[in-house]
Amino acid sequence: MDLTRQPPRRPSNAGIAGIVGLARMTDKARGHNADLLGEFKYGESSGLDCEVLELLGVAVDDFADAADRLWDDELEAWVRERMRCSQDQIEAFNNEQLTREPLDDLHRQLLRERIVNFAPGSTDITTVYASIELDDWGAFRDEDLTTGPPRTAFLRTVAGIVGAARMADKARGRRAGKLGAYKYGNDSYVDRTILEFLGISQQDFEEAAWRNPNDTELAEWISQQMTLTPGAVSVLNEKLTRHGITTPGSEGAFRKRRDEVCPERPEVTTYFAMMDIDDEASFGIVDLNRRPPRSPFDNNLGGAYGLARMIDKGRAQISGHIGAYWFGDDSGFDRRVLKLLGLSPEAFTEGLKQHGTDAEVVAWLGDRLQGRDADIAAFNNSLVELGPGSSDGARAFLTEGVKATDAAREDVGTFMVLARLDDEIFLARLRASV
């Protein structure tokens, strides 16, 4: 879960096991596991999480592991099997949490500041939970689509519907007066199709998206307006993801738009794929929430495996769109490429900021690459053969990665193959039509 683009669920949300704070902790655990926690705190760093974990009698690492593996319904069953508390204790816990007011000067001051910033004049916001919810809402209610794009249309984190999370971002941008060049609601084919399917007006959806910056809670609002069936959603998703050059009557308009956005990409045949390309190009970013970086096997830049991939990840890191990927010291591949180049992650990042194209980066690297054919050949061989060796920990990491990606691939024995396979599966899952 990406908590740089949305807050966790409200602390008052008791949707999992009837316990307040548990749904929020679940979202933070998933953000923590994906290295996408943003400014939030999980587990032992969060006083509220500690109280929930103590009530349940569950260890923080065990909960993080369960939250990663299980859907909410499964997680609720897992919690109920392990928790040591009675229903009376849960009710007492909920009441204490929901009514607790700030106990010290720091948190009383935080509450006052949040009211001034996000709800001036309000007198009914008095509790710790209300203070947290106000802060979350104030931080995520608005989107500035003049400085960055909405999320990819392929994302289905709102009610399982493709395009809905993107539409929510645009609704928040419109509400903030910062829609930029994007179209929202009835002015957008995708939005209009979704709104007609839901039977919701663009005004009502805009208000709901603004009030509910968390995708799951926005989906809960949608479920209160209508009954969604999985079959109906799948038909809608198939229609929207396939919309493009093969849509009857759309071929001419699609080709014209593709010639404007990506004339060198004839393999692009759907509007969703073209929107991703347009979003990145319009803001000069690399967004690895939309697509993987280049293959670790790509050695078109200076002959070195991993360099093109590291450039993509570095540019994504700079623009704040690295997603679940690792860059620099956090990446085993990058550490080896940087050692070959004799550069620190900080120096390489600064080089990317100063040089906007691959050709400029290669020229900047100069003799760190040029004239080193033997060194690069040896490096490439070491990288392509990189496996777990005799390390039990590395073997477990590789095995777990393969099983999570494609459990049938017992032949995968190197980290480059795992990375490439993981990229392809990530993209296929993201862009699945249903």
Residue 179 · residue 196 · CB < 8 Å: no
Report how far apart the first and last C-alpha atoms of the chain are (Å, whole number).
Answer: 20
Residue-level pLDDT at 390: 84
Question: What does the block give as tokens for 272?
Answer: 């969703």
With tokens 């966790």, the residue in question is 8
Nearest-angstrom CA–CA distance, 4 and 26? 16
What does the H/E/C string look like for 2-55?
CCCCCCCCCCCCCCCCCCCCHHHHHHHHHHHHCCCCCCCCCHHHCHHHHHHHHH
Residue 348 · residue 335 · CB < 8 Å: no
In this structure, how many other beta carbons lie within 10 angstroms of the beta carbon of residue 367?
Answer: 7
The ranges assigned to domains in the chain are 1-99, 164-230, 251-283, 307-430
36-56 as b/e: b if 16+ CB within 10 A: bbbebebbeebebbeebbebb
Quick one: pLDDT band at residue 191, thresholds 50, 70, 90? very high
Question: What does the block give as tokens for 8?
Answer: 């966790």
User: Residues in the chain, how many?
Assistant: 434
Quick one: pLDDT band at residue 188, thresholds 50, 70, 90? very high
DSSP annotation of 124 reads: S
With a pLDDT cut of 90, the percent of the chain lying above it is: 95
Residue 171 · residue 150 · CB < 8 Å: no
270, β-bridge pairs: 244
Q: What is the pLDDT of residues 297-306, one digit of tens each?
A: 999 999 999 9
Q: By C-alpha distance, which of 286, 307, 287, 288 is closest to 296? A: 307
Q: What is the pLDDT of residues 123-165, one digit of tens each?
A: 999 999 999 999 999 999 999 999 999 999 999 999 999 999 9
Q: What is the pLDDT of residues 362-395, one digit of tens each?
A: 999 999 999 999 999 999 999 999 999 889 899 9
* Residues in CB range of 152: below 8 A, 6 or more apart: 166, 272, 275, 276, 279, 287, 289, 290, 430
CA distances from residue 36 to 132, 316, 320 in whole angstroms, order as listed? 19, 14, 11
Q: Residue 48: CA atoms inside 13 Å, Cβ hemisphere, count?
A: 24
CA distances from residue 165 to 117, 153, 157, 201, 419 in whole angstroms, order as listed? 26, 7, 6, 16, 28
Q: What is the pLDDT of residues 52-82, one digit of tens each?
A: 999 999 999 999 999 999 999 999 999 999 9
Q: What pTM did the predictor assign?
A: 0.91
| Helices 392-406 and 415-430, axial angle in degrees (round to 10) | 30
Residue 84 pLDDT > 90, yes or no? no
- For all residues of the chain together, what is the average pLDDT? 96
Q: What is the pLDDT of residues 35-51, one digit of tens each?
A: 999 999 999 999 999 99
